[in-house]
Structure 1
Amino acid sequence: MRFARWLALFVLVITLAISVTSIKADEEDPFAPLKRFSQVLGLVEDYYVKDISRKELIDDSIKGMLQQLDPHSAYMPPEEFKEMQQSTSGEFSGIGIEISMDNGRLIVVSPIEDTPADKAGLRSGDFIIEINGESTQDLSLMDAVKKIRGPKGKAVNLTILHTDSQKPETVSIVRDSIPIHSVKNESLDDGYLYVRLTRFNDNTTEELHKALKEYTKDHQLKGVVLDLRNNPGGLLNQAVKVSDTFLEDGLIVYIQGKSQTSRKDYKASKQSGDVKTPLVVLINAGSASASEIVAGALQDHHRGLIIGERSFGKGSVQTVIPLPDGSGIKLTTALYYTPNGRSIQAEGIKPDLSIPFEKPKEQDDPRFIIREQDLSRHLESANGNGTSAKDKISEKAAKMLVRDNQLRMALELVKQLPTIKKLQ
């Protein structure tokens, strides 16, 4: 009995020694994990119940490896890589939505304004449970994007769970061409310009400068309301250039990778087209990535008043790396930091003034607003109609203001900022 115990102890020690030696061998030999991978690959090829090509097995292995890193790293086969390039520079077919992964669940970051997804009522924070009846639970982000996109005119059925709902609903959305026009503007009042950035693509800064230039031809610019709500982000260089439009100098953002020496700073420079008028910036939970860079830079420099709701918190940097066969990988390589050193990742930008969005009541709907000009047999003005030329220009803005409490507050604040600064 005593001998048996000693023998068992001896075998245990030998087993542990072999395990430690194996671990050390793996640590010392960088090719040991690859040998294990090769062994598993061979076993699957030889014994798996179905025939699968080696290329497919390798592609799926790469997908799985990147998918396990974080929600934004991904492998893109040639076709998907080409579509990704089109989404920032041209026009693509889809429903117009930015999505991400949250603990394995597919979540809506933001619908792009005036796209099928936006018109169908999808909102930031919604969970996509099914795509055409197929559960999204085991789908990768890129596979989900591929299934949602498709030919123009063909519908995709999404089962959605809204954040304020207990029961999911299925919506049928007809795909359409998604143009990459990222800047919309409207005069809110004489001298006060509303600028809405829907995303950050190759032409965003150019479109912004064009809108400002055209407005200042006929108006003295007194203030700007910059709307970044439901803007899912886009290109870093465009976020920097948009910020630079409102800043004369100083740090805009810096990115920091794994190495301490990898830090890269992006700074503002004085330009002839710099906008110096009072500025109010609108953000919400759908403001992500590049939107958060702009909001964070303007907030840290006290250049604009940030109002609305806390932003999404997507503060990681993805580097797109093309591969020789036409495919590519999107790899998280760094994090964004605001000028004051705040990490955006999972934190987001907190507004200076928190103002929740209030869903407009039926009586606030512009369709129910009646003015003198709507009455039969109303008297015409000297201009030949019931409104002045100035009122005609701002009719769309009036409807926007009626239905948007955050925008109404932004307009009042941008008008009062000069007075507030004097009091300070």
Structure 2
Amino acid sequence: VRSHEDGCLYAVKRSVSPFRGESDRQRKLEEVRKHERVGEHPNCLRFVRAWEEKRMLYLQTELCMGSLQQHSEDFGAPLPPRQVWDISCDLLRGLKHLHDRNLLHLDIKPANVFISFSGVYKLGDFGLMVELDCAEGKEDAQEGDPRYMAPELLDGVFTKAADVFSLGMTLLEVACNMELPKGGESWQQLRRGHLPTEFTSELPPDFLKVLGGMLEPDYRCRATVDWLLSLSAISRAERWRKVTLTTKKILSKIFVVFQLLMWLMSVVFHGLKRPVMWLWRRGRGIPPLQSPPSSPSPNLLAESSLSSDWEDSFGEDVFEVPPSPLGITQRLAYDGPEFTLRHSPELMSRPSLGSTSTPCNKSPDYSTRKRSALTLTPNISRISQDSPRSVKSVTPDTSGSSSGFVDTEGLRSGFLPRNLLTMFDDASDQ
């Protein structure tokens, strides 16, 4: 969970069930006092605080990346020797911190070894921890997981050597990727000091010596933490471990500084980009960038809005339109020379009655029609919106002009709108 005080992430452990009574409450609060006795150490899980809520106990500790058991299972093979040496050095230092305070962990196993985000291994879960200075603590001592338990614990002997044996079994499991027995003959063989050669044959000799001292059957002859730390193999591994951790810290700090510099450079670049570009364009005499063009006028849209698949005329191959008997202005397509008609802008922007378009791909039905069938049909393709006095008409040319039409100007007074039926009747009479 994320703390509202400092914004950091922490791990919160909650009791499985509410307090069953005052004695159960005191027993669970005893674990809190054990965490407080441990204190702070780089190789021990850091305790932050504890509180009660709705008869439940909550423990807040530092957040780690995972446990050694999870890491070993995900790896699916014996861990590399270099990593096993790192685990040995870190856990021996954490165990020395406990033993110097006369504290026994009594439950060391891969599930209770945590890996921080910086790669440091830490001892955790101090629920079974025993205080050697307290007589009541020895009486209430409990054994941990039988797979990692020292043989003398069955006789009720609780010493610091029991933690060394459990640590040795933990290292044997992760170094050989073997499943430790919970009982039976194999369990007895390991407590007699017989290590399975099929698993330990590829281990380095120095590491086998360390394991032999930690798994000594007699707790009185078993190696102590101080003796193990004094070995030359452990000393070399510790020096290499310090160099590795120091290098990681330096690289992580360099990476953070690099990220900060990149962020500052991006801010400065975006802040200076516009004025620098403006000065550069001004120095070279380049005009400033123009705003995007505005929308075209409605008249231009009207002229260019027709699809390329359609023509803005009847087309010579489709219809032949006779002159209108009413003398209305007409826009026609023909093969003769071009001429310009005066027209109102309104006619370009807004089609009038009868405006149409013809597809470029002519229908077979149209190609079989007789042009003479439409010779007497009045044309109402476009009626001019101009006044009758300024109407421009097109009449047939009887002089044999090649154009087929002549452009005439005439005043037509007395023109009144008539309905469509009357127009057809007049056309039929003519």
Q: TM-score of the superposition, structure 1-length normalised?
A: 0.19
Higher helix residue share: 2
| Larger strand share, 1 or 2 | 1
TM-score by length of 2: 0.19
Q: Rg: which structure is higher?
A: 2
